[in-house]
Amino acid sequence: MIPIPTIKPLSGRGKQISYKKLTHNLEITWGEAKFNVTKEQITHIMKNFFIDDGTWYPLGASMDQPIKGGLGEFIKENFKGLTPRHATAIAAVMENEELILVKGNKPIMLKKQSDLVDHRSSKSIKNLRNELHKNIINTWKKIKKDYDEGWLYREGTLVNAFYHHLRNDLGDDYFINNDIRIYTEFYVGTKKRVWVDMCIVKLSKDQNYFLDYLSIIEFKFLSGQASLDYFYNDVTKIKELSKEFPSTKFYIATIHEDYWQRDVYSWLSTNQRENWAKGKVTELNAFYSDETGEFVTEVVEA
């Protein structure tokens, strides 16, 4: 027998929950699982899904290959007035909260991953982001050696080198066990599809769709004579994406073949670092030190 989930508001007046406009935090009880979902979580995740004619398209799914059935469809069918958008959002929160389907694609019973004997990791999205952040910074430090040895020529080789180091340092087991993949030349966004140089994604357990964008990295390889407008277009792109995906960590990885003072080199203004980029954007900079003439790498966290 499939257990029917119960959803009730944790705050607000009235007996009914408005699914046209989510006004409450929710408590969801399903089988052995009970957890809270904030209206902010739902609002954020709703932005990451396409809904068209009652069919839900999880983040990254092809519009001509919708994913039907499963958790989101089941929720929608069992709650009168629940829109496909909210059904999908609640389903996505469930997976992000480390609740998985134990058998097939039907919600026979939900348990926390830590209660299951499984080869897969039960690390939270937040922990995975933090682990990747440390390794992305360590990977950038290796770019100096690649540059000094002549392995890097223009942006494409920089992206290739970064991918090589990050994947090999963490190992394929890390990515497979945590359902993470690194994709280059990747489209993100819902209202407007935007091309990014590299995106590290969290996959669903069945690997049919993307649950989250963990990290987005933009690369630039600039000569000393290059127009800086070429770079600042990426800053504008990241600013807009950070609004749509507020939990994603963003990185600007730049080799600039020019001389700079190490203590002042930053592509972002003080105002940008203290406002929209704060806690979201990390600069991975590489340039020639005007003091020593040495090619150096630096990390600037907003």
Overall number of domains in the chain: 2
**Does one domain contain both 104 and 163?**
no
Note the pLDDT tens digit of each residue in 105-153.
333 333 433 333 233 445 677 889 999 999 999 999 999 999 999 999 8
How confident is the model at residue 17, as a pLDDT? 44
Is 109 among the domain residues? Answer: yes
How confident is the model at residue 45, as a pLDDT? 52
**Does one domain contain both 150 and 286?**
yes
Note the pLDDT tens digit of each residue in 235-261.
889 998 888 888 899 999 999 888 877
Number of Cβ atoms within 10 Å of the Cβ of 296: 15
Is 208 among the domain residues? Answer: yes
**Does one domain contain both 149 and 200?**
yes
Is 1 among the domain residues? Answer: no
Is 264 among the domain residues? Answer: yes
- Boundary of a domain, candidates 115, 135, 164: 115
pTM of the complete model: 0.62
Give the distance from CA 85 to its chain's centroid.
Answer: 20
Q: Domain span at residue 137? A: 125-301
Is 120 among the domain residues? Answer: no
Q: How many helices (H) and strands (E) does the chain have?
A: 8, 13
Separation between Cα atoms, residue 56 and residue 88, nearest integer Å: 7
How confident is the model at residue 117, as a pLDDT? 29
Dihedral angle, C-alpha 243, 299, 123, 204, nearest 10 °: 50
Is 288 among the domain residues? Answer: yes
- Boundary of a domain, candidates 82, 115, 148: 115
**Does one domain contain both 72 and 130?**
no
**Does one domain contain both 140 and 282?**
yes
Q: Which residues of the chain have pLDDT under 70?
A: 1-26, 28-123, 189-191, 206-209, 226, 262-264
**Does one domain contain both 58 and 79?**
yes
**Does one domain contain both 102 and 238?**
no
How confident is the model at residue 127, as a pLDDT? 85
**Does one domain contain both 222 and 252?**
yes
Secondary structure E strands in the chain = 6-9, 26-30, 33-37, 50-52, 55-57, 99-101, 110-112, 180-188, 194-203, 210-223, 249-260, 281-289, 295-301
Residues 6+ apart with CB under 8 A from 45: 88, 89, 92, 93, 96
Is 219 among the domain residues? Answer: yes
**Does one domain contain both 134 and 64?**
no
How confident is the model at residue 81, as a pLDDT? 55
- Boundary of a domain, candidates 115, 149, 164: 115
**Does one domain contain both 102 and 12?**
yes
How confident is the model at residue 251, as a pLDDT? 97
How confident is the model at residue 30, as a pLDDT? 57
**Does one domain contain both 144 and 289?**
yes
